[in-house]
Amino acid sequence: RAREIARLALQPAATQDGVRVEVAANVNRPEQVPAALAAGAEGVGLMRTEFLYLERDSAPGEDEQCETYCGMVRELAGRPLIIRTLDIGGDKQVPYLNLPHEENPFLGIRGSRLMLRRPDLLEPQLRAIYRAAKTGPLSIMFPMITSLAELRELRAECERIRQQLNAPAVPIGIMVEVPAAAVMAGQLALHADFFSIGTNDLTQYVLAIDRQHPELAREADTLHPAVLRMIQRTVQGAQAATQAGRPCWVGVCGGLAGDPLGAAILTGLGVRELSMSQRDIAPVKAALRACDSALLAELAQLALDSADADSVRALAARLQAPRQ
């Protein structure tokens, strides 16, 4: 039975009534790509580039990064690759970057906030990405976006570098992981080609619980209906922009995507791409295949109407057991 689930994991995921959900992998290092493909990933939905900067004494230069991204493009052979720009700060620190100490690093200069202040980091990374874009498909994703102004500034920087390099245009998307971005999704979607919802950070910011807090982290439950309502609002914002002629698709790359019940609820909410760690791919595909979209929509509505995360979790009983 486990072998059957692993075999089916290599097939695309669709509900009983044929709604396709793209299942991709989160990777921290390029070496993880072959194993992700072998586990059934249809592409890379989140490449966390910060791991290229960790455990060394200086930042990787443009050429080194370019080689890394080109290697991934080659390995993926035309499949999607979403490269997230450096998301340092918060829980991830890099000594040689000499970032000032902050009292509240999760509410401080992290992710795109740092990149907008550090052209010495942003420029070589974007140049490396655009050079790699000449060799095959990829997308750029900016983390920790809070305002439209940040997105516009980053897009302008992308365009400047693209022209310098005479590189092809690539889709530019953002992580939705700050409540303000979820609430303002309708307007952000007019300037983004896609959203990928980061449920790990979104949960800590919606619930005001540090995701690493030794005592509270367990209560930072991503299935909390308040988090799910933020996700619903994000999907609705993207759908409105799409209907207005500015297509913006929505994926999820936070931990919720890799949980079978979470994946079912997300699909019911209208999410069509799920990116997760490689080990979660087979069970998530199996869970989605066992359901039809009417059940998933009903599940999503019940989850939104629930009072707390435990009541949402109890909805797992309604999921059909994966069939052979």
Q: Which residues bind ligand PEP (CB under 6 A)?
A: 48, 87, 177, 198-201, 253-254
Q: Closest CB to ligand PEP among 198 and 260?
A: 198
The β-bridge partners of 175 are 196
Query: In the complex, what is the shortest distance from the CB of residue 222 to ligand PEP, in angstroms, rounded to a whole number?
Result: 9
Torsion of CA 293, 294, 296, 298, to 10 degrees: 160
Q: Closest CB to ligand PEP among 42 and 87?
A: 87
Q: Closest CB to ligand PEP among 177 and 193?
A: 177
Query: In the complex, what is the shortest distance from the CB of residue 200 to ligand PEP, in angstroms, rounded to a whole number?
Result: 3
Q: How far is C-alpha 251 from the chain's CA centre?
A: 6
Query: Is the separation of the CB atoms in 157 and 136 below 8 Å?
Result: no
Return d(Cα 232, Cα 109) in angstroms, integer: 27
Contacted entry of Mg ion, ligand PEP, none for residue 199, CB cut-off 5 to 8 Å set by kind: ligand PEP
As a residue count, the chain comes to 324
DSSP-based three-state secondary structure for 323: coil
Q: How far apart are the first and last CA of the chain?
A: 8
Q: Closest CB to ligand PEP among 161 and 202?
A: 202
Query: Is the separation of the CB atoms in 151 and 145 below 8 Å?
Result: yes
Q: Which residues bind Mg ion (CB under 5 A)?
A: 177, 198, 201
Q: Closest CB to Mg ion among 65 and 204?
A: 204
Q: Closest CB to ligand PEP among 48 and 246?
A: 48
Q: What does 153-182 look like in DSSP terms, one character per residue?
A: HHHHHHHHHHHHHTPPP--EEEEE-SHHHH
Query: In the complex, what is the shortest distance from the CB of residue 143 to Mg ion, in angstroms, rounded to a whole number?
Result: 6
Return d(Cα 182, Cα 188) in angstroms, integer: 9
Return d(Cα 184, Cα 161) in angstroms, integer: 28
Q: Closest CB to Mg ion among 22 and 201?
A: 201
Q: Closest CB to ligand PEP among 114 and 291?
A: 114
Contacted entry of ligand PEP, Mg ion, none for residue 193, CB cut-off 5 to 8 Å set by kind: none
Query: In the complex, what is the shortest distance from the CB of residue 142 to ligand PEP, in angstroms, rounded to a whole number?
Result: 12
The β-bridge partners of 194 are 173, 249
Query: In the complex, what is the shortest distance from the CB of residue 158 to ligand PEP, in angstroms, rounded to a whole number?
Result: 20
Query: In the complex, what is the shortest distance from the CB of residue 195 to ligand PEP, in angstroms, rounded to a whole number?
Result: 12
Contacted entry of Mg ion, ligand PEP, none for residue 48, CB cut-off 5 to 8 Å set by kind: ligand PEP
Contacted entry of ligand PEP, Mg ion, none for residue 22, CB cut-off 5 to 8 Å set by kind: none
Query: In the complex, what is the shortest distance from the CB of residue 211 to Mg ion, in angstroms, rounded to a whole number?
Result: 9
Return d(Cα 188, Cα 196) in angstroms, integer: 12
Contacted entry of ligand PEP, Mg ion, none for residue 259, CB cut-off 5 to 8 Å set by kind: none
Task: Spell out the long-range contacts of 120-124 with Cβ–Cβ below 8 A and sequence spacing 24 or more.
Answer: 121/59, 121/86, 121/97, 122/85, 122/86, 122/157, 123/157, 123/161, 124/59, 124/61, 124/62, 124/65
Contacted entry of ligand PEP, Mg ion, none for residue 253, CB cut-off 5 to 8 Å set by kind: ligand PEP
Query: In the complex, what is the shortest distance from the CB of residue 48 to ligand PEP, in angstroms, rounded to a whole number?
Result: 5
DSSP-based three-state secondary structure for 221: coil
